[in-house]
Structure 1
Amino acid sequence: MSRPRGRQRGQRSRSAKGRSRVGERFEAEVGPVAHGGHCVVRLPEPESRVVFTRHALPGERVVVEITEGTEGDRFWRGDAVEVLDPSPDRVTAPCPVARPGGCGGCDFQHVTLTRQRLLKADVVREQMGRLAGLDVDVTVEAVPGDLAGLRWRTRHRYVHLPDGGLAMRQHRSHRTVRVDDCLIARHDAREPQPGVLVETVGEQQFEVAADGFWQVHPGAPDALVGAVLTMLAPKPGEKVLDLYAGVGLFARFLADAVGDPSLVTMVEGDATASRHALRNVRGARVTAGDVAEVLAASYDEPFDLVVLDPPREGARRAVVDLVADRAPRAVAYVACDPAALARDVALFAAHGYRLEALRAFDLFPMTHHVECVALLVR
């Protein structure tokens, strides 16, 4: 568990490539789901353009309104503003602002939970095939702790309006939408603020900054720790390297499994998280710093097991190369972005590591996000 997984982006500022097509509408059939919370719509001649379309489902016939795009763009973005032939998996969104032009926080409130997970599995499978050249079976597993996909966010950030009200941002925009009650947030959800919290996982307690990173789904830590421990099957006496270690969630349980915290080394980019890791996993080695830079300068020794839990952009080539140099028998890779995971799996393959197992967890219901844990072995 590492630094925050990314932030809400504003709409990109770029030079126009011809006449704007924003606001134009087209009737079209919806194609497959794509990574990012939208589906692929291919407009026929004379447009012949791909439109990445939100609030749609594969197989539907919809009216797409263009939300971003000019004549010279390779693809456009759009919203399904009218559904002419709905999918049997379409439902009425429980939140009144989960709609075209509304809040950008949820991608799939218009989809049954079962189909949401199938769509996420399709995305993981497609990314692994396209970027890693692997044909993998993927099942996105439900995790206890939400209420039919709602009320799971234990931490939540709002825009505070001048009149005291709360708002969220529209998709790819800084524009705000008033939100009286965000349905994916728990009633006791906290906004990030200074201070220290104590989080409990199983029988272990973890000190964590109140404004630092911790998984927001209440069932996430147990699910991820269980997957990592099962996949790595740590043995007493094995040496462990935990990269992007956060406050030491995985390291704490791995230290117990190998029988000695001094066998565990953690590297984490956030200095505050590293200080908490020192207290959460007493006796382990902890270094704060950029993972690639730290590994290039230190810990140049063999390790039996490695945990990778990088931010959204993934570990990337430099870190993958440095991990492979330490010749672990197994690597557990925790990923919040399937494209970054697939790219890094391909990099590991060049070092002789194969994908042995892959699990996916629905830690962010109603959104397109999915968390994966992959096992790589020599």
Structure 2
Amino acid sequence: MTGGVEEAGRVELTVDAVAPGGHCVARVDGQVVFVRHALPGERVVAEVTEVHKGFVRADAVTVLAAAPERVTPPCPYAAPGRCGGCDLQHVAPAAQLDWKTAVVREQLVRLGGLTDVQCDALGVRVEALPGGQLGWRSRVRYAVDAAGRAGLLKHRSHEVVPVDRCLIAHPAGRDLPVLAVTGVRWPDAEAVEVVVATGGDVTVTALTGGRSRTVSGPDRVRERAAGREWTLPASSFWQVHPAAADTLVGAVLALTDPQPGETAWDLYGGAGLFAAALAGRVGDAGRVTLVEAAGDGVTAARENLRDLPGVEVVAARVETALARRRITGPVDVVVLDPPRAGAGARVVREIVAADPRAVAYVACDPAAFARDVRTFTGLGWRLAALRGYDLFPMTQHVELVGLLLPPA
């Protein structure tokens, strides 16, 4: 690298704008540096952690001139070289929302092909959820080191940091005898997961070789959302913020406004959260088709939606179900909730070909969302509305719900 900066070396620099991944951007001798534990406008001493062709990663270890938005992290493990789970504990709560809003906007412009004027019209803004920034995470997975001690991982590392507690973990699971500080050891486990369900169940599971073993609590937990109670394996996917499920359902229904008698698709439907909400709107005269590839998700959907006769659960990959005409149009409303990698151009083209009147896109990664928006707009569609939610306070992650509409 130019300027003699090497891994583990230190350099003084001025921090520029926020970037995806919980970093800010800086430059040294023209070289891009992605800096953690910093804020835009700050002057810091940064320790280089990785050197790559074209960019460098670094941690701000000394703050020479602090931004007004800087606060003292509530957790002593949220620091360079320690736990990598929280990216933004050094950022004031309101500024965290500004940070995430800026990332969403930048991704929509750079990857989605939108203009600043279009972003202004959308009113892009990330909103906080109730409950505050600590004690919200209802599912926490702790890594286990070679000595059988459970803890959390360093950033971009497999090294386990022994912690005494995780402050963003739900209080009902935070002080369970799981971590190394309690004296408990997990010699046969690769990870330990603590689940605190909204229905009141608390389960601890040991994970080894892709298999889970219940250590305490029920094997199946109850979740409450969308006016229903859900029962599913403790290891199944569910939103980690207690307010997330109802927040996302409310956004999807408000944006798409399903009507009695309409047909709807719930793609990447999981346990059926959106399918149930859609079924409640389209009624007995309508029909909802859920598509899910994961076996536990399919089982959970079939069990939890069996009282809704108008709902069909299709066990298949979404792209396969569309390409092989396992599900076919016409369809009125589509809810698209893909994994972090996004839906992809192939799925987007198939959805457009089915000619729905509205698509609600639920996204956990702004970059993947922006790329798929670009595919939609390339086919004549438009992003008509966008809502952002801080489902993961103290971290760089953000959830989006976008409304995509066909040409007028």
TM-score between both structures, scaled by the size of structure 1: 0.90
For 1:366, which of 366, 376, 394 is the aligned residue? Answer: 394
For 1:214, which of 228, 238, 249 is the aligned residue? Answer: 238
Aligned residue in 2 for 1:166: 150
Residue 328, structure 1, aligned to residue 310, structure 2: no
Aligned residue in 1 for 2:43: 61
Between the aligned partners of 1:308 and 1:268, the Cα distance in structure 2 is 11
Q: 1:202 to 1:305 in 2, by over 3 A?
A: closer
Aligned residue in 1 for 2:99: 119
Between the aligned partners of 2:250 and 2:101, the Cα distance in structure 1 is 20
Residue 41, structure 1, aligned to residue 26, structure 2: yes
For 1:176, which of 153, 157, 160 is the aligned residue? Answer: 160
Aligned residue in 2 for 1:22: 7
Structure 1 residue 212: Cα displacement: 1.1
Between the aligned partners of 1:261 and 1:159, the Cα distance in structure 2 is 48
Q: Which residue type is aligned with residue 141 of structure 1?
A: E
Question: Equivalences for 1:85-164 in 2 at 5 Å?
Answer: 85-134=65-114, 135=116, 136=119, 137-144=123-130, 146=131, 148-161=132-145
Between the aligned partners of 1:302 and 1:322, the Cα distance in structure 2 is 12
Between the aligned partners of 2:104 and 2:396, the Cα distance in structure 1 is 11
Aligned residue in 1 for 2:343: 315
For 2:315, which of 277, 282, 288 is the aligned residue? Answer: 288
Partner deviation per Cα, 1:18-64 (whole Å, 9 max, x = no partner): x9821111111000000110000111x3xx21111100000000011
Structure 1 residue 261: Cα displacement: 8.1
**Matched-pair contact (CA < 8 Å) for 1:207–1:247:** no
Between the aligned partners of 2:328 and 2:145, the Cα distance in structure 1 is 51
Gapped regions of structure 1 (runs ≥ 5): 1-15
Q: 1:50 to 1:369 in 2, by over 3 A?
A: same
Structure 1 residue 352: Cα displacement: 1.9
Between the aligned partners of 1:100 and 1:363, the Cα distance in structure 2 is 24
Question: Equivalences for 1:132-281 in 2 at 5 Å?
Answer: 132-134=112-114, 135=116, 136=119, 137-144=123-130, 146=131, 148-161=132-145, 165-189=149-173, 190=195, 191-192=204-205, 193=212, 195-260=219-284, 263-281=287-305
Moved over 4 A (4+): 161-165, 191-194
Aligned residue in 1 for 2:380: 352
Structure 1 residue 162: Cα displacement: 6.4
Paired residue total:
354
Between the aligned partners of 1:351 and 1:327, the Cα distance in structure 2 is 12
How many percent of aligned residue pairs carry the same amino acid? 51
**Matched-pair contact (CA < 8 Å) for 2:265–2:288:** yes
Aligned residue in 2 for 1:8: none
Between the aligned partners of 2:245 and 2:380, the Cα distance in structure 1 is 30
**Matched-pair contact (CA < 8 Å) for 2:261–2:285:** no
Between the aligned partners of 1:292 and 1:117, the Cα distance in structure 2 is 34
Q: 1:202 to 1:310 in 2, by over 3 A?
A: closer
Between the aligned partners of 2:280 and 2:128, the Cα distance in structure 1 is 27
Between the aligned partners of 2:252 and 2:285, the Cα distance in structure 1 is 17
Partner deviation per Cα, 1:183-206 (whole Å, 9 max, x = no partner): 000122324555322211142111
Between the aligned partners of 2:346 and 2:226, the Cα distance in structure 1 is 35
**Matched-pair contact (CA < 8 Å) for 1:132–1:345:** yes
Between the aligned partners of 2:108 and 2:373, the Cα distance in structure 1 is 8
Aligned residue in 1 for 2:178: none
Between the aligned partners of 2:278 and 2:265, the Cα distance in structure 1 is 10
Between the aligned partners of 1:120 and 1:269, the Cα distance in structure 2 is 30
**Matched-pair contact (CA < 8 Å) for 1:262–1:285:** no
Aligned residue in 1 for 2:179: none
Q: Which residue type is aligned with residue 286 of structure 1?
A: V
Between the aligned partners of 1:162 and 1:122, the Cα distance in structure 2 is 40
Q: Which residue type is aligned with residue 26 of structure 1?
A: V
The DSSP-based 3-state class of the residue aligned with 2:78 is: coil
Between the aligned partners of 1:126 and 1:97, the Cα distance in structure 2 is 30
Name the stretch that deviates more: 55-64 or 164-173: 164-173
Q: Which residue type is aligned with residue 248 of structure 1?
A: G
Between the aligned partners of 2:232 and 2:386, the Cα distance in structure 1 is 28
Between the aligned partners of 1:107 and 1:132, the Cα distance in structure 2 is 25
Between the aligned partners of 1:313 and 1:203, the Cα distance in structure 2 is 30
Q: CA RMSD in A?
A: 1.7
Partner deviation per Cα, 1:244-281 (whole Å, 9 max, x = no partner): 00000000011010003860000011011111111222
The DSSP-based 3-state class of the residue aligned with 2:170 is: strand
The DSSP-based 3-state class of the residue aligned with 1:323 is: helix
**Matched-pair contact (CA < 8 Å) for 2:260–2:286:** no
